């Protein structure tokens, strides 16, 4: 009995690892932003750029304690939470802007993205969940959370 339970727990751990390995960060918007790159995304989220192709964009960020935000900051922006917060504190102090609007959870992110044509945000999702995202939004950039590989994709 104990041996069977160990095998079951091992199988569950393996399956859990496979599921998490497939999670990706999707940069999404209601608007098709041709030519969006990881570098431009980084510039939008650091206030160094506010337009892409003459279209003003409003970046949305998760709240500070969000695990998805931590992944995004590390993988796309290239900063830790501490570095990002300090960066924006300095910019705000010298009058160079305010940080992106924050949302508390995935549902709120999807709601705000769905209600604003010029909003851009990110969602962590499996490829299966991404099929639903593509029905509502343009998927502009995909980042696999288990690697540093970046891929630009057109909405399907």
Pairwise CA distance, residues 100 & 45, whole Å: 7
Per residue of the chain (156 residues), what is the pLDDT tens digit? 544 434 444 434 434 444 444 789 999 999 988 889 999 999 999 999 999 999 999 999 999 999 999 999 999 999 999 999 999 999 999 999 999 999 999 999 999 999 999 999 999 999 999 999 999 999 998 888 654 444 443 333
Q: How many CB atoms lie within 10 A of CB 155?
A: 13
Q: Global pTM? A: 0.79
Q: How buried is 5 (Cβ within 10 angstroms: 0-12 exposed, 13-18 middle, 19+ buried)?
A: exposed
* Of 23, 41, 48, residue with least CA distance to 133: 23
């Amino acid at each position: 009995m104990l041996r069977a339970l160990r095998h079951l727990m091992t199988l569950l751990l393996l399956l859990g690892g496979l599921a998490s390995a497939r999670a990706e960060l999707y940069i999404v918007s209601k608007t098709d932003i041709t030519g969006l790159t990881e570098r431009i995304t980084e510039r939008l989220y650091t206030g160094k750029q506010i337009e892409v192709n003459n279209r003003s964009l409003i970046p949305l960020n998760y709240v500070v304690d969000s695990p998805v935000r931590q992944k995004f900051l590390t993988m796309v922006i290239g900063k830790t939470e501490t570095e990002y917060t300090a960066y924006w504190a300095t910019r705000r102090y010298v009058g160079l802007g305010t940080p992106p609007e924050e949302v508390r959870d995935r549902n709120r992110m999807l709601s705000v993205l769905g209600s604003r044509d010029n909003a851009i945000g990110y969602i962590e999702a499996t490829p299966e969940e991404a099929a639903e995202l593509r029905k509502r939004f343009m998927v502009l950039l995909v980042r696999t959370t288990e690697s540093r590989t970046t891929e630009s994709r057109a909405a399907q």
